[in-house]
């Protein structure tokens, strides 16, 4: 297998807050191989956004990196100078945001914004426009030439998200980070965008880091899944393994809660009891223990590490 394009190793990030140190990410390991689509699932507050911010080095000023490294083709992103990291952003690593209604500048035309992304290229305006047109065509926007002179508010949410994807892929990045790109769209559009992303991924050969809390989307799109809980990776592996044979109790419960899997008509949707632990005062031992049904004494005292070769699980009980 190739060397990973992006290799997150033992990454821990915390925020200095008034209450104390909020440990948002703890010893996170995620390798992303070239051309693979890796999905990250987890509920709100599990550290997905912090992880993205850490990769593109746009963490809030009160954040500190406690340990670990983020290797980009072998170089540690955390060691790079601000100029060097800026050169990577938008060129090698691109991003698509959650809400297409706010991720485009409302007062500039689509064409202007799309030529603007190519600010590193020494091409003529006409060439940049032509490239923008081709790109819009590839993401499935009808009459691309016409759209270039329109403003974002002329377009629907799905269209805007396509424009955002086109902009992100403009520089043919090695890694595309998609932060819940379909959450703000309705179900039909979601499917369209997912298929389009798959198609584009095959054409461009870039790796995709796909963040979502929609399990169906992850199952449909991703090659590999990383399940995060409260700032830790609790289970990771191929999509097939994790979805068909979930071994961490959190993953099992998460899958049980997926409305798509509920066969019987019911008044009450299943929930995972309890809530996320306080990240300032973490419990000893396993971070999921307070909400876990099957915990044993060992879970109280000892924090389980992520173990396994392909299908990794962080649970004392999963090893048997």
Partner 1 sequence: MTNRAGFVRETFTALRKDSLGMTGLVIVVTILLLTLFASILSPYDPLEVDVYNRLVGPSWQHWLGTDQLGRDVLSRVLYGGRVALKVSLVAISVSMAAGLLLGMMAGFGPKWLDRVLVICFDTLRSFPTIMFALSIVALTGPSLNTVIGIIIITSIPVYGRIVRTQTQAMRDNDFILAERAMGASTAHILRHHVLPNIAAPLLILASMDVPAVVGMEAGLSFLGLGVSAPTPSWGSILNDGYSYLRNSPWPIIAGGIPLILVTLGFTFFGESLRDILDPKLRGKGGKF
Q: Which residues bind partner 1 (CB under 8 A)?
A: 56, 58, 86-91, 94-95, 97-99, 102-109, 111-112, 116-117, 119-120, 149, 151, 153-154, 164, 167-168
For the bound state, the minimum distance from the C-beta of residue 222 to partner 1, rounded and expressed in Å, comes to 21
The answer to whether the beta carbons of residues 60 and 40 sit under 8 Å apart is no
What are the distances in angstroms from CA 164 to CA 10, 41, 178, 202, 214?
31, 22, 10, 18, 20
Residues 6+ positions from 42 with CB-CB distance below 8 Å: 48, 213, 227, 228, 229
Nearer residue to partner 1 within complex by CB, 120 or 319: 120
Output phi, psi for 59, to 5 deg. Answer: -70, 155
For the bound state, the minimum distance from the C-beta of residue 105 to partner 1, rounded and expressed in Å, comes to 5
Residue 226's Cα: distance from chain center in Å?
10
For the bound state, the minimum distance from the C-beta of residue 163 to partner 1, rounded and expressed in Å, comes to 11
For the bound state, the minimum distance from the C-beta of residue 112 to partner 1, rounded and expressed in Å, comes to 6
Nearer residue to partner 1 within complex by CB, 111 or 285: 111
Q: Where are the alpha helices (DSSP H) in 47-124?
A: 48-55, 82-88, 110-116
For the bound state, the minimum distance from the C-beta of residue 99 to partner 1, rounded and expressed in Å, comes to 6
Nearer residue to partner 1 within complex by CB, 125 or 240: 125
Place of tokens 């306080």: 278
Around 306, how many Cα atoms within 13 Å sit in the side-chain half-sphere?
21
Nearer residue to partner 1 within complex by CB, 24 or 114: 114
Nearer residue to partner 1 within complex by CB, 89 or 303: 89
């Amino acid at each position: 297998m190739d060397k990973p394009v992006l290799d997150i190793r033992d990454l821990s990030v915390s925020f200095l807050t008034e209450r104390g140190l909020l440990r948002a990410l703890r010893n996170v390991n995620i390798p992303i191989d070239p051309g693979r689509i890796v999905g990250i699932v987890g509920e709100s507050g599990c550290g997905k956004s912090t992880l993205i911010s850490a990769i593109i080095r746009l963490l809030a000023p009160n954040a500190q990196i406690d340990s670990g490294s983020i290797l980009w083709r072998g170089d540690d992103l955390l060691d790079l100078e601000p100029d060097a990291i800026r050169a990577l952003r938008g060129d090698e690593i691109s991003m698509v945001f959650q809400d297409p209604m706010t991720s485009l500048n409302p007062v500039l035309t689509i064409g202007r914004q799309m030529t603007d992304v190519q600010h590193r290229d020494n091409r003529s305006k006409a060439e940049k426009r032509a490239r923008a047109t081709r790109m819009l065509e590839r993401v499935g926007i009808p009459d691309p030439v016409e759209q270039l002179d329109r403003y974002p508010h002329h377009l629907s949410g799905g269209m805007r998200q396509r424009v955002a994807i086109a902009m992100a892929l403009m520089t043919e990045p090695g890694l595309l980070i998609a932060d819940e790109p379909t959450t703000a769209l309705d179900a039909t559009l979601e499917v369209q965008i997912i298929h389009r992303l798959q198609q584009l991924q095959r054409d461009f050969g870039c790796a995709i880091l796909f963040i979502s809390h929609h399990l169906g989307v992850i199952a449909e799109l991703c090659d590999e899944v990383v399940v995060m809980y409260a700032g830790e990776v609790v289970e990771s592996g191929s999509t097939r393994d994790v979805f068909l044979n979930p071994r961490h109790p959190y993953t099992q419960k998460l899958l049980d809660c997926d409305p798509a899997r509920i066969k019987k008509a019911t008044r009450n949707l299943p929930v995972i009891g309890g809530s996320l632990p306080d990240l300032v005062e973490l419990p000893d031992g396993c971070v999921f223990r307070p909400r876990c049904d099957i915990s044993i004494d060992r879970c109280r005292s000892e924090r389980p590490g992520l173990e396994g070769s392909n299908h990794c699980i962080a649970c004392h009980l999963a090893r048997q």
